[in-house]
Structures are given as C-alpha cells and as structure tokens.
Amino acid sequence: MKRFIGFIKKEFYHIFRDKRSLFILFGMPVAQIMLFGFAITNEINNVDIAILDHSKDTYTQEIINKISASKYFSVQQYIANESSIESVFKKGKVKAVLVFENDFSKKLIKENLAKVQIITDATDPNTAQTISNYTNAILQNYQKELNKNVETPYQIITQTHMNYNPELKSVFMFVPGVMTIILMLVSAMMTSISITREKELGTMEILLVSPLKPIQVIIGKVVPYIFLSVINAIVIVLLSIFIFKMPVQGSLFLLGIESVLFIITSLSLGILISTISATQQTAMMISLMGLMLPTILLSGFIFPIASMPLPLQIISNIIPARWFIIILKGIMLKGVGLLFIWKETLILIGMTLFFIGLSIKKYKIRLE
C-alpha cells in the first residue's frame, strides 16, 4: 500500500508540473461550460420576423399580437405575397416568415382547422429550429386559450419545413453533453497519454521489472485521474447550478455514482488505447479521432440521434457517451431515479467490463 501511495504521489507531480495537462484538466471544463453556456446558446431573443397574412382577420391579428408581444420575436415587416419571401430572406433582415392561409378565421370556425406555415432561414440551423419551436409553442398556447370555452376544439396546424427538434431548447441541454465530453477527454485521453509516456520514456519497462505488479502499475496511473475527473464533475455541476441557475432535479448521490461509473468506463477505454499505441502522439490521435469525435457527433449531444441516418443510429449504440448523456439528462433535468435509467447503467457497466477484459488480454500479449 505504501508503494502505491508513492506511485500516486509521483503521478500527481507529473500532472501538476505539466502546464499543458493542467490546462486541459482544469481550464477546459470551465472554458467549455462557459462557451456553451453563454456564447453558443440556443435561446433566442428579439428575432426579427416577417408576416405574410393572406386573411387579415381577427384571429390572425390576435396571433400576430401574441407573437410580437413575446420577448422572442419582433415583427419587422409585413409582406404582401409569396414572391417577397425569398427577397426578405436574401436581404437577411428576418430569420423567419409566418404565412397565414386564406380565410384563416373562416376555416377555423367552420372546419375547426386552419394552417400556419413557418418558414425559417436555415442557414443557421440551430436558430432556425429554435424559432420554429418557439413559434409553435406560442401557437399552441393560443389554441388552448381558444378552446377553453368551445365544445369542438379548434385546431391550428403549423407546417414547418424544418424538422421539429425537441432536444434543443436551452443552455440546460448543453450541461450534460459538456460534462460527458470533459469526463471522456480527461479520463480517456489523459490516461492513455500518461501510460504511453511511460512506455516511450522506457520507465514502463523499469516499472515492470520492479516488484510492482502490472495491475498495480495501471491502477496507480489511473487513480489520480479518477480523483481529478470527480473534481471536474463537481466543478461542472456547481457551475451549472450557480452560474446558469440550472437545478439538479434528481439525487446528487445517484449523479455522483453514475459519474464515477462513466469515469471508469472512460478510463478503461484510455487503458485500452494505451495498450495498442506505442507513442503519446498515437495515443492522442486515437483518443481524439476515435473517442472525442464520435462522442461529440454521435452521442446525441449536438445532433439528435433520432434524426440521424439509420447506420449512424446503429453505430451510436456503441458510444458510451450516448448512454451517459441519457442518464445525466434523466437525473439532472427530469429528476428520475435509478428505476428509469437502470438499462443505461447496465449498458455502461457491461461496456466497462468489456474494455477492461480486452485491455488485460492485449496487455498480456504485449508482455509476451
């Protein structure tokens, strides 16, 4: 045990004396959370829109009033016909155009059904999606109000030429994603680099000749990163609570346990990477290309899995981050307990065991 503590102490010297790794460890989480929280926000404010109202009746006027009264939109101009839609978009003055069909009120009263078309400027897809979300929400509200005193409900149908995307609502959604990426980055990349560094320096050989068992060497390398990752997770949760006022709905204890589980999954991936790469560069490239990219792209963090092509959806199943993001969203946003996330938890445990088993096998082959 004393040998072990000496080993871990040494590991901390490495980390704290290397400015680059210190930056990745502690600068990155804060920077990323801030970046995603403030700069890349999906919330919209005072977005300029145009209205094309073919009916010009009381109902359409009421809807327009509602929309311009909200802080999200300001009605910039009214246009007269379809052909102007193109031109207002081209001028870049508005982000969206709302089109009310002919005889909106009449249809709503007679047929209980009227249509609104939302056309958004999709050059900025995130904003476009958010705009359509918000407009829809306003229309839904209005519809509810209308239906309060009516027997046969009125229906306002919205047509959007963009896919409705319920996942991207606000900064809250980024916190689980960023947390996943940071934990993955710190745990997998940093450990794989630090283990391959020992190989490159030749010190790994010395360690293997020493009475330390290979498993002790690996655990010794990994423990400091578990510790640092846990600190990172705590920092991220604190930032999201106090800076972004995002409360954690579920149990903090469960959140902690699940985070440690994911940290261990990532560490086992890091160990696996270190067994197949001979140099730090290789380890870093494999971590970045093989882990970070799929984690960012396929985990459902930025792009919703449901809207991916089928092959990618299938691939996303083997990305540990996908399951961890579901767990995090469940605990942080919905406040669910283990009962609702046991499946994802089991998948992560299974993956971890698989990676560890594979690493042990690879490690033995290498020693031969």
Partner 1 sequence: MVSNNIIQVENLTKAFGDFTAVNAISFEVKKGEIFGFLGANGAGKTTAMKMLIGISRPTSGKATVAGFDVYKNPDAIKKNIGYMSQKFALYDDLTVKENITFYGGIYGLSRKQIKEKTNQLLEELGLQKIVGELVGSLPLGWKQKLSFSVALLHEPKIVFLDEPTGGVDPITRRQFWEMIYKTAHNGTTIFVTTHYMDEAEYCDRVSIMVDGKIEALDTPKKLKEQFKAKTMNDVFLKLARG
Q: Which residues bind partner 1 (CB under 8 A)?
A: 2-3, 6-7, 9-10, 13-14, 17-18, 201-203, 205-213, 367-368
Find the shortest distance in angstroms from Cβ 138 to partner 1: 59
Find the shortest distance in angstroms from Cβ 359 to partner 1: 18
Find the shortest distance in angstroms from Cβ 301 to partner 1: 34
Query: Would you call 216 exposed, middle or buried from its count of C-beta atoms within 10 A (0-12, 13-18, 19+)?
Result: middle
- Nearer to partner 1 by Cβ, of 339 and 367: the residue is 367
- Nearer to partner 1 by Cβ, of 151 and 368: the residue is 368
- Nearer to partner 1 by Cβ, of 20 and 91: the residue is 20
Query: Would you call 43 exposed, middle or buried from its count of C-beta atoms within 10 A (0-12, 13-18, 19+)?
Result: exposed
Cα–Cα dist 137/131, whole Å: 10
- Nearer to partner 1 by Cβ, of 170 and 210: the residue is 210
- Quote the DSSP letter at residue 260: H
User: 108: closest CA among 67, 145, 143?
Assistant: 143
Tokens matching residue 81? 């016909």
Find the shortest distance in angstroms from Cβ 182 to partner 1: 24
Find the shortest distance in angstroms from Cβ 223 to partner 1: 15
What residues contact 364, with CB distance under 8 A and at least 6 apart?
none
CB 174 within 8 A of CB 32: no
Cα–Cα dist 195/271, whole Å: 8
Q: Which long-range contacts (CB under 8 A, 24 or more apart) does 340-347 make?
A: 341/258, 345/258, 345/261, 347/323
- Nearer to partner 1 by Cβ, of 15 and 312: the residue is 15
CB 258 within 8 A of CB 340: no
- Nearer to partner 1 by Cβ, of 80 and 367: the residue is 367
b or e along 280-319 (b: 16 or more beta carbons within 10 Å of the residue's beta carbon)?
Answer: bebbbebbeeebbebbbbbbbbbbebeebeeeeeeebeeb
Find the shortest distance in angstroms from Cβ 28 to partner 1: 21
Find the shortest distance in angstroms from Cβ 13 to partner 1: 6
- Nearer to partner 1 by Cβ, of 17 and 148: the residue is 17
**In which residue are the tokens 């299974």 written?**
350
- Nearer to partner 1 by Cβ, of 18 and 103: the residue is 18
- Nearer to partner 1 by Cβ, of 39 and 365: the residue is 365
Q: Give the Cβ contact number of residue 47 at 10 Å.
A: 19
What residues contact 260, with CB distance under 8 A and at least 6 apart?
226, 230
Find the shortest distance in angstroms from Cβ 18 to partner 1: 7
CA 109 to chain centre: 43
Find the shortest distance in angstroms from Cβ 361 to partner 1: 15
CB 41 within 8 A of CB 171: yes
